Structure 1
Amino acid sequence: MNHMIKESKKLAVIGTGVIGNGWIARFLAKGHDVVAFDPAPGAEERTREMLKKAWPSLEQTGLADGASTERLTFVDTLEEAVVDAYLIQENVPERLELKQNVLASIDQYANPNALIGSSTSGIMPTTLQEGLKHPERVFVAHPFNPVYLLPLVELVAGQAKDAKVMDEARTFYESIEMKPLVIQKEIEGHVADRLMEALWREALHLVNDGIATTEEVDAAIIYGAGLRWAQMGPFLTFHLAGGDQGMRHMLEQFGPALKLPWTKLVAPELTDDLKEKVISGCETHAGETTISELEQKRNEFLVKLLDLVEDYWPESKSLIKN
């Protein structure tokens, strides 16, 4: 991997929960200065503790020249954080009114040329742009946990689209070794979350109906589809399922089965009984392993897996070009 950056930039992170802290770790690892703001008590302490846990994995994947956790500064106001930042990454909770209010403040105090990315997992960018003075510079930049290791980021422009802003955003996220998926049409939930949500709904049905336990559902993905998807994704996987004629034969042979009611699609009611099945199943599956230990194992696995994916997937920067 190439761990060099052309120039260090000042980046602002607003909201330092799991996703915000993930952005901080990635930005720092790629050699940038980060200014963070979060009014929650103990926010800075939690961030710095998270960085201690994440940094060994980042050292394994490779740090940029000058990368350091000392280049993180917490400030007392949103204005201080964004006033001269090149890019502002917003990560406040997924409540529309809160996000719109925070983005309005960012829009007010940020440099007019600053890029503003929202880490929203479901809200459309046009909705986020409402009432802003410079709506064209606000876009969705939705990552995946852990942000400091997983490279996918979904970039979505709103109706107030500026092609130069989106090109610059794509270039920036590429520079921090992410794989921008530039989505051409906005939709609630974007692309990756809609796919994961469909699988999650079906998994809940399988547990709710007593067909499989949480551990068995996980095993079905880990040792089956998940191994293939890490390399190819669903379409190329099915392309191979069609033999020498590929997808053409696959659709001819298995296409009619799509009409069969195999899957539920609509989520089951989240009853107390279903909640208990899911919670107790996960706790039993995890056993004595703590969340912190699971995170460490996950990070070690992802570091190795990312190298393997790079070996077998053609080198590319962004996944979709305008």
Structure 2
Amino acid sequence: MSSSPNSNQSSSPPIARTSIIGTGTIGASWAALFLAHGLEVVLHDPGPDAEPFARAFITQAWPALVTLGIAQPEIPWHALRFKADLERAVADADLVQENAPEREAFKIDLYRQLDAAAPAHAILASSTSGLHMSRLQSQCAHPERCVIGHPFNPPHLIPLVEVVGGQHTSNETIERTMAFYRQVGKRPIRINKEVSGHVANRLQAAIWREAVYLAAQGVASVEDIDTAITEGPGVRWAIFGPHMTFNLGGGQGGMAHFLDHFSGPMKSWWDDLGEAPLDETTREILIRGLTEESRGRNIQALAQERDDMLLRVLEAKRGSHQ
């Protein structure tokens, strides 16, 4: 990453006008959050149903934002606009949040266009879940203002945002981006090195790989493996992460005591972890298991159940920090 800030950014105005490129589930969720925090939002998506989908999503998401004390009861539709032309959509932006399909070549060209059209002070942030910004910014005239701001779904509820710079991203861009996400109530973390999948997705992938292996080997059912997380470590992880959890597991001696007593068993478990190919047999096991676990609930009902419970968890966490 570049260590010298861009001179155009040193006198940058506060972020008040945002543009969201790609208004699927992630983009629409960002839009709801930005509107709730009093920002102007311009949406751009070439899809024929993009505008009605985004408006419906924001309408559905709004009550949760009101409950969390983030939004007023009335949705400020006057602050939301749709623009069919990409260049016009970002012409006045202070920050662009890009949510285009996860195709590297497509995004590289998109960033070239965004860089040419957006104001000099605008941050160009990507929601990419795994691509490297060093690649995405490679055709930009001003790569120093390009950065990854990867949210967790749904962005209007989940606090985490992973901020990752590319080879030519300036430190000032990273600092401005971190400050902006804090401004809209997020919990950004700075990732110092580009790795595929960033941090949280790699942790998810590691756990899921073992979960798939256990299911494929018939060690436990798909539902019971899920329960092992939601009723076990997952409850603790909503409070402390794995490092701090095991630090507490060491009692008064903390991590030093934990390592003295459990590093051997832990290493033996690591050595025994499996890897299951996602072949047809494994696919059938997972799909059949999830059908049973869903108990007739469709995706929409499951997502609503998730969001309702997330709301309760977030309210509890917020209360503990007050």
TM-score (norm: length of structure 2): 0.91
**Matches of 2:23 and 2:255, distance apart in 1:** 44
Aligned partner of residue 260 in structure 1, secondary structure: helix
Aligned to 1:9: 16
Aligned to 1:114: 122
Aligned partner of residue 161 in structure 1, secondary structure: coil
Shift of residue 310, structure 1, vs aligned partner:
2.9
**Matches of 1:73 and 1:189, distance apart in 2:** 32
Equivalent residue letter for 2:115: D
**Matches of 1:239 and 1:302, distance apart in 2:** 26
**Are the equivalent residues in 1 in contact too, given 2:127–2:148 (CA < 8 A)?**
yes
Equivalent residue letter for 1:46: F
Q: 1:74 to 1:309 in 2, by over 3 A?
A: same
Aligned to 1:37: 44
Aligned to 2:76: 68
Q: Deviations over 1:97-147 (max 9, x none)?
A: 011111111011101110010011111211111121010100010000010
Equivalent residue letter for 2:107: K
Report matched runs for 1:1-322 at 5 Å.
9-64=16-71, 68-262=76-270, 267-312=275-320
**Matches of 1:296 and 1:118, distance apart in 2:** 26
Q: Deviations over 1:29-62 (max 9, x none)?
A: 1111111111112111111111121111111112
Shift of residue 151, structure 1, vs aligned partner:
0.9
Listed as ranges, the gaps of 5+ residues in structure 1 are 1-5, 316-322
TM-score (norm: length of structure 1): 0.91
Shift of residue 264, structure 1, vs aligned partner:
6.0
Shift of residue 161, structure 1, vs aligned partner:
2.5
Equivalent residue letter for 1:59: V
Listed as ranges, the gaps of 5+ residues in structure 2 are 1-12
Aligned partner of residue 194 in structure 2, secondary structure: coil
Identity rate, percent: 40
**Matches of 1:264 and 1:94, distance apart in 2:** 33
**Are the equivalent residues in 1 in contact too, given 2:62–2:71 (CA < 8 A)?**
no
Aligned to 1:320: none
**Are the equivalent residues in 2 in contact too, given 1:31–1:63 (CA < 8 A)?**
no
**Matches of 1:174 and 1:209, distance apart in 2:** 43
How many corresponding residue pairs?
A: 309
**Matches of 1:265 and 1:38, distance apart in 2:** 43
Q: 1:33 to 1:267 in 2, by over 3 A?
A: farther
Aligned partner of residue 245 in structure 1, secondary structure: helix
Aligned partner of residue 125 in structure 2, secondary structure: strand
Shift of residue 67, structure 1, vs aligned partner:
5.5
Equivalent residue letter for 1:62: G
CA RMSD of aligned residues (A): 1.9
